[in-house]
Structure 1
């Protein structure tokens, strides 16, 4: 959810008004989901454990975002090339 927020926030300023409104709505929705999941985690788990798991996920996500990816997707890493659609 947080990764979607980052991508939508980076994308929205570059879109026409109609698409910006659509993706802006998705951004707000994803932000609510992200915050809800964090609240749930902290309400059911130990703060130190939750913080450690968030850091573990953050590092894994960073690796995925920065590493080459053969197929471009919204959440993919750095594209390594462009292939024609079948």
Structure 2
């Protein structure tokens, strides 16, 4: 599930950047965006498959939980700035 979120954020970054670069780089970013989107789906499919085969559980609640954790990390201050987390102070 965490891997899916990482891939989804990469997908979003390429989607935001692509319209602001030249055509050649735009095409490259769009191809990366599509790749990241597939990876996102692959990670969710893998998590769902593992959960189903081991415990029969639905992963929807876990996906939502990690989404909330991620949203909190993204929107909160971070004294130790890292590329993928927090608003720098």
TM-score, scaled to structure 2: 0.69
Gaps of 5+ in 1: 81-86
- Counterpart CA distance in 1 for 2:19 and 2:57 is 36
Deviations 1:1-41 (A, max 9, x none): 11111111121112211221121111111111101111111
CA contact (8 A) 2:11 2:36 kept: yes
The correspondence for 2:33, drawn from 21, 27, 30, is 27
The ranges of structure 1 where at least 4 consecutive aligned residues each deviate by more than 4 angstroms after the TM superposition are: 46-49, 69-72
Gaps of 5+ in 2: 1-6
Greater length-normalized contact order (CA 8 Å, ≥ 6 residues apart)? 2
> Per residue, is there more helix in 1 or in 2?
2
Aligned length: 79
The correspondence for 2:64, drawn from 51, 55, 62, is 55
Structural mapping, 1:1-86, within 5 Å: 1-46=7-52, 49-69=58-78, 71=81, 73=83, 75-80=84-89
